[in-house]
Structure 1
Amino acid sequence: MIEPRQWKALWLFSRTGKLTNTAREMYLFQPALSAMMRKMEEETGVSLFIRTGHNRISLSPAGRVAAEFAGQLPDLQQTALDAIRQTSRSLGICAPGIRFYLEKPGQLKTEENLQGWDTEMLEDDRDLEAGLDSGRWQAVILHLPPEAGYLVQPLFTETLFLAVPNQHPLAQKDSIRLADLAGQNLLLHTGIGFWNGFVRSRLADAHFASIDDFAAFQSATLVGAFPYFTTNVVPWTIPDNVCILPIDDPQVQATYYLVCQKKDAALFHHLCQVLYHQTGTSAVYPAAERKSS
């Protein structure tokens, strides 16, 4: 199969007419370029070049036809890429709770939902914005409002809570502050998007038992040895040997924003119509609840 690099060399040669100039444009030595040309002829099964004495070479009639197509390939590639991106349905997100929110029964206004969309999670909002600009995603959901230049709609608010084993000293509190967790041993699931960096940056003195696998993390929470973080959108059932404590710091609430480029206004308004807009989702855990062991 003829490689894109070979097509490019053929097209450049049709423009320059000289191997030396083409090799310079391709950052190749001339013998390597000559070998590339011969391989291209082997791939097509026809003579693309006319070789004469004194190391002179020119395009054959077949070579001129091939070079004409080679010149069209960049535009065709971009057309194909645009068409692929238009049919692709991908969403960049900054935290896993967004998936729970989108998949929540009754969360979608109509039968038309986001189940056909691929979601990809990154921790940094800036990386998500860059992916939106490059066309990697058609929309992103951020935990901070972006700078001007985008279409933005608030969606819902997620609140961080601490799940504490009933026998743990912290279980005697009605609520806690992040400062109360200094020096504590905590379970931490690493796949929590931006919350991972948030927790680590604000609890530099805590000791984390980090677990990558979600199933293994769930199993570890059942043991009830260490506190761990949960939120008001996490769908799992809290074990009976654990109580949920509100965290008093205001930073533990994150409002999520649907963001699209302005040129994608039709898509943005469609997504706004499909999703319920909740800027203040009520907490599943409104107050600390101690359960008997």
Structure 2
Amino acid sequence: MTRQVRAFDRSRHTISVGSCAPAPLWEIVPRLTELYPGMAVSSEMQDCGALLDGLHSRAYQLIVMPEPVDDPALLCIQLTEEHLYFSLPPAHPLSSAKVLRFADLDGESMLLLAHIGFWYGRARKNMPQALFLTQDEPAAFDELTRMSALPFFTSDLSLKRDGMPENRVCIPISDPDAHVTYYCVCLSEQHQLLSRLLQHAVQ
């Protein structure tokens, strides 16, 4: 009960957003900040189970999931899509390919950022023989991607935000696991939050 009271009190001053991946937060957090200037907006990444638990316990007012949620107590609306790419140096043997599969680079060494939500598990599942050089700090990862010739993952949303990396070729991955549709989910009783967010997105 105490936890629920604290969550309710916090919700009066803060909009808490949980996401399964980083990219949806890049747009959602600024939108909410603009829509609700009198409130703080906090965000974090969690696994899907923790996100749903947090939404039901009111730790979050809004969550982003990689699949639709069928629950009469929740409102679930499609948000956007993300498509994974390989980023390769021009000298890589596969740099001239128009499209690639996970299996094409399985067994190679790759740079991998640790805090990428559900994408981390998908990468390891689909490339079990790859040697992932995992980096915890985004700044260190970015520096390594500039200095190294090792492949790494990027996405259409990352390329839209950050532009094409220098001296790199970005090739889409065709496997189904390289594509995701994101869904915004909130409690049905808080539908106005989600409605305002999505109306703002299409203006």
TM range (shorter): 0.7 to 0.9
Shift of residue 179 of structure 1? 1.1
Aligned to 1:95: 21
Greater CA deviation, 183-192 or 238-247? 238-247
- The partner residue of 2:55 within 128, 132, 141 is 132
Partner in structure 2 of residue 68 of structure 1: none
The correspondence for 1:254, drawn from 172, 180, 189, is 180
Separation (CA, whole Å) in 2 of partners of 1:80 and 1:196: 32
2:168 aligned residue (242, 248, 269):
242
Unaligned runs of 5+ in 2: none
Find the counterpart in structure 2 of residue 85 from structure 1: 11
Q: How does 1:67-216 map to 2 (within 5 A)?
A: 82-102=8-28, 108=31, 111-112=34-35, 116-122=40-46, 124-149=47-72, 150-216=74-140
Shift of 1:127: 1.3
**Identity over aligned residues, as a percent?**
32
Distance 2:131 2:173 in 1: 18
Please give the per-residue CA displacement for 1:36-79, whole angstroms capped at 9, x wherever unaligned: xxxxxxxxxxxxxxxxxxxxxxxxxxxxxxxxxxxxxx89x965
Q: Flag the structure with higher strand content.
A: 2
CA gap of 1:116–1:109, structure 2 versus 1, over 3 A, is: closer
Aligned-residue offset at 1:167:
1.0
Amino acid at match of 1:226: L
8 Å contact 2:114–2:120 — kept in the other structure?
A: yes
Of 274, 284, 291, the match for 2:200: 274
Shift of 1:212: 0.6
What is the letter of the counterpart of residue 118 of structure 1? S
1:86-116 deviations in Å (ceiling 9; x for gaps)? 3321101111111223367xxx599526894
Contact 1:224 1:242 in 2 (8 A): no
Quote the Cα distance in structure 2 between the aligned partners of 1:247 and 1:139: 30
TM-score, normalised relative to structure 1: 0.62
CA contact (8 A) 1:109 1:274 kept: no
Distance in structure 2 (CA, Å) of the matches to 1:186 and 1:209 = 6
Q: Does 1:218 align with 2:142?
A: yes
Contact residue 165 and residue 227 of structure 1 kept, 8 A: yes
- Distance of 1:227 and 1:257 partners within structure 2: 29
Residue-by-residue CA offset, 1:219-269 (whole Å, 9 max, x unaligned): 111124210000111122333321011111122111111101122223332
TM-score scaled by length of structure 2: 0.87
Q: State the shift of 1:133 in Å.
A: 0.6
Q: Distance in 1 between matches of 2:170 and 2:182?
A: 23
Partner residue of 1:18? Answer: none
Number of corresponding residues: 199
Counterparts in 2 of 1:227 and 1:237: CA distance versus 1, 3 Å: same
Q: Higher relative CO (CA 8 A, sep ≥ 6), structure 1 or 2?
A: 2
- Amino acid aligned to 1:269: S
Greater CA radius of gyration, 1 or 2? 1
Please tell me whether the aligned partners of residues 162 and 228 of structure 1 are also in contact (alpha carbons under 8 angstroms). Answer: yes
Instruction: State whether residues 143 and 257 of structure 1, in contact with CA within 8 Å, keep that contact through their aligned partners in structure 2.
Output: yes
Q: Distance in 2 between matches of 1:201 and 1:185?
A: 15
